[in-house]
Amino acid sequence: MSGVDTASLIVFALVAVLVSVLAWRHTRSTTVDFFLAGRRTGMITNAGAICGDYLSAASFLGVAGAVYASGLDGVWYATGFAAGFVPVLLFVAAPLRRLGTVSLPDFLAVRFGSAQVRVAAVVAVELVILSYLVPQAVGSGVTWELLVGRGIAGLSPYATGIVVSTLAVGGIVVIGGMRGTTWNQALQFGFLLAVAVWLSALLWAGGFSYPAAVEQASAAPLRMVVDDRLVAVSSQLSGAPARFGDPGARYSAIGQVALLVTLVLGTAGLPHVMNRYFAAATGRAARTSTVWVLALAGGFYALAVMLGTAARVLVAQRADEPWLAALTVDGVLRVPEHALLVLGRLLAGTPGLAVVAAAAFAAMVSTIGGLLLAAAASFGHDVVARIWRPAGGPREAVVAGRAAVLVISVVAAGVALWVDPERLLASFPSVIAAMVTWAFALAGSALTPAVLLGIWWREATARGAVAGIWTGAAVAIGALVLGLVIGPDPSGGLSAVLLAPALIAAPLSAATIVVVSRRDTGPPVSDRLWTRMHGTAADRQAERMARITLRGRR
């Protein structure tokens, strides 16, 4: 590791710790303050923090890696990730915030008036968080391996990256709570976007032409590295050799639809992203933040796709350089997730690699922070304060949330250490993006149907919601396990659906909620609750107070 690499990591760590300590000084030991930053997060800050939460290792390293490995079919990851916020804006953002709850399980429990719904939702949320944390930790290991290249305390470089990132972020969240995590996430997203723009500017300054690069990358059939040798990629649509700019390198038609549905539905069920909406000042602010997210995330993903394309061309052109030869086989990267890191070094030397690696860590750290905070909220508030010890008070909930952060950090690091990304690469060319898709599948199948029907269908009952959450979770997990056992099939049909199962699990969950609710004689949602969720009285009140405060300052 060079001096520049060390300096970039030290600066990055110092900024994160400084922000957390500053936030800690402003954070009181109350539920709303620790978990929701006092519900006073500004619209643009919240949009930046949502992007920081959402744009994880899968987005930064994974999208560029998926484009590098699969061309146009890899681009669908970026499209699906960005598209997920459209349903959030249309159906979820404002009512979710207006109910005034603390976490996703809390929202569902209050809407359905049921402790059983809370328990089912907490289980689903913790499963989603764990399955989302593991690929982030894997990404940390992969980045540390390439940037630092050596381990500490007898650990391998890969294991060191996992242990350092998860434990460090766990500490940051414990200290800073939602306020520190929000500030860190907004800053880290700004850094991430700046790095993507900087790399793009370097490319353009060097005479890079995006259309010409697509043409060049599509000139020869796509190949990937499996067991240290190059293997031609066949089109899932035609069986002919797949090309970079054409559809079919990774997905059949049904596979593409399954991926899209999973990513689009999954976003509205991601606990760490939805928790951001509870921190918005009003329902309208939550909705407007989502518009900002669509702009910021769309811009970021468009750049990430271009950078993945550039990596495909430039790596092949400069594969003779000794440092790059060790990472490639005949001009093709062994690990597609290295695409952006390698591009940084190709464009700006070792400092370029250090800056991109720091951005990759920023992406992972901000997402891990959001996930741990969501775990803390669902455990501290939903399990301890609402179920286990309701008389314990908010201070006890915050302490329990902090303890949950440390426990989940250790469990996620343990699972990530057990996962061997090299072994998975043969089946999943873009392994981080694929693993994140599994978390989206679980969220979209177990939680999104209950959230959507809870918001928009008054007749949805608690029994229906419980049955729907369990059905969605069971079908999604069963499909994912079956898909991993049978592996990718040549036709790309069955396994593609099994590995992105929201296409089947979410409709089954929704149908279960509808059927059970129809047969249920329980009471529908009250006028009081429906009015709070869909009315704007609290928004108007908050806006009026903000105007009065502004006038007072003048």
Please identify, using beta-carbon distances, which residue of 234 and 350 lies nearer to other proteins.
Answer: 234
Instruction: Give me the least distance between CB of 227 and other proteins, in Å please.
Output: 30
Answer for which of 287, 312, 338, 402 binds other proteins (CB under 8 A) is 287
Q: Which of residues 239-268 bind other proteins (CB under 8 A)?
A: 245-247, 253, 256-257, 260, 264
If we measure between CA atoms, which residue out of 126, 131, 312 comes closest to residue 218? 312
- Is position 217 an interface residue for other proteins (rule: CB under 8 A)? yes
In this structure, how many other beta carbons lie within 10 angstroms of the beta carbon of residue 349?
12
Please identify which residue in 295, 407, 481, 511 interacts with other proteins, judged by CB under 8 A: 295
Residues 432-471 that bind other proteins (CB under 8 A): 456
What's the min distance (Å) between Cβ of 496 and other proteins?
A: 12
Least distance from other proteins to the Cβ atom of residue 99, Å: 7
Our finding on whether 89 is near other proteins (CB under 8 A) is yes
How far is residue 481 CA from its own chain's centroid? 21
Determine the Cα–Cα distance for residues 393 and 144; give it in Å rounded to an integer.
41
Local structure of 307: helix, strand or coil: helix
Q: For residue 229, what are the β-bridge partners?
A: 226
Among residues 141 and 401, whose Cβ is nearest to other proteins? 401
String of b and e for 59-71 (b: at least 16 CB within 10 Å)?
bbbbbbbbbbbbb
Q: Closest CB to other proteins among 345 and 386?
A: 386
301 binds other proteins (CB under 8 A): yes
CB of 524 to other proteins, least distance (A): 12
List the one residue from 45, 70, 79, 509 that touches other proteins (CB under 8 A). Answer: 79
d(CA 207, CA 309): 15
Neighbours of 481 (CB within 10 A): 11
DSSP string, 193-255: HHHHHHHHHHHHHTT--HHHHHHHHHHS--EEEETTEEEEPBPTTTSSBP-TTSTTSS--HHH
What distance in Å separates the CA atoms of residue 40 and residue 31, rounded to the nearest whole number? 14
Question: Strands 328-329 and 332-333: what pairing?
Answer: antiparallel
Among 4, 22, 291, 415, which residue interacts with other proteins (rule: CB under 8 A)?
A: 291
Distance (Å, whole) CA 257 – CA 21: 45
Examine residue 175 and tell whether it contacts other proteins (CB under 8 A).
Answer: no
CB of 447 to other proteins, least distance (A): 18
Considering the rule CB under 8 A, would residue 100 count as an interface residue with other proteins? yes
Instruction: Decide whether 293 or 479 has the Cβ nearer to other proteins.
Output: 293
| Contacting residue, 39, 118, 250, 276, with other proteins by CB under 8 A | 39
Contact with other proteins (CB under 8 A): which of 131, 136, 140, 218? 218
Contact with other proteins (CB under 8 A) among 210, 334, 411, 414: 210
As measured in angstroms, the least distance from the Cβ of 74 to other proteins is 10
Q: Which is nearer to other proteins, 214 or 342 (CB)?
A: 214
Element (H, E) at 520: none
Q: Are strands 223-226 and 328-329 parallel, antiparallel or unpaired?
A: unpaired
For residue 531, the minimal CB distance to other proteins (Å) is 4
> Is 209 a residue that touches other proteins (CB under 8 A)?
yes
CA-to-CA distance for 300 and 370, rounded, in angstroms? Answer: 19
| Residue 89 vs 372, nearer CB to other proteins | 89
Report if residue 541 touches other proteins, rule: CB under 8 A. Answer: yes
Closer residue to other proteins in complex, CB, 284/345: 284
Under the binding rule (CB under 8 A), the answer on residue 316 touching other proteins is: no
DSSP state of 328: E
**Contact criterion met (CB below 8 Å) for 76 and 259:** yes
Contact between 314 and other proteins per CB under 8 A? no
DSSP state of 71: T
- Shortest distance in whole angstroms from residue 127 CB to other proteins: 25
Q: Min. distance of Cβ 394 from other proteins in angstroms?
A: 11
Q: Confirm or reject binding of residue 113 to other proteins (CB under 8 A).
A: no
According to the binding rule CB under 8 A, does residue 216 interact with other proteins?
yes
Q: Which two tokens stand for residue 102?
A: 């603390």
437-to-264, 339, 468, 515 alpha-carbon distances in Å: 11, 20, 21, 28
For position 75 contacting other proteins by CB under 8 A, the verdict is yes
C-alpha–C-alpha distance, residues 435 and 458, integer Å: 35
* CA-only gyration radius of the chain, Å: 23
Among the listed residues 179, 216, 132, the one whose alpha carbon sits nearest the alpha carbon of residue 37: 179
Shortest spacing between CB 265 and other proteins, in angstroms: 12
What phi, psi does 417 have (nearest 5°)? -65, -30
199 binds other proteins (CB under 8 A): no
Asked if 398 is part of the footprint of other proteins (rule: CB under 8 A), the reply reads: no
Is 102 a binding residue for other proteins by CB under 8 A? The answer is yes
Least distance (Å) between residue 31 CB and other proteins: 8
Binding mask of the shown chain, residues 341 to 380, with x at each position contacting other proteins by CB under 8 A: ----------------------------------------
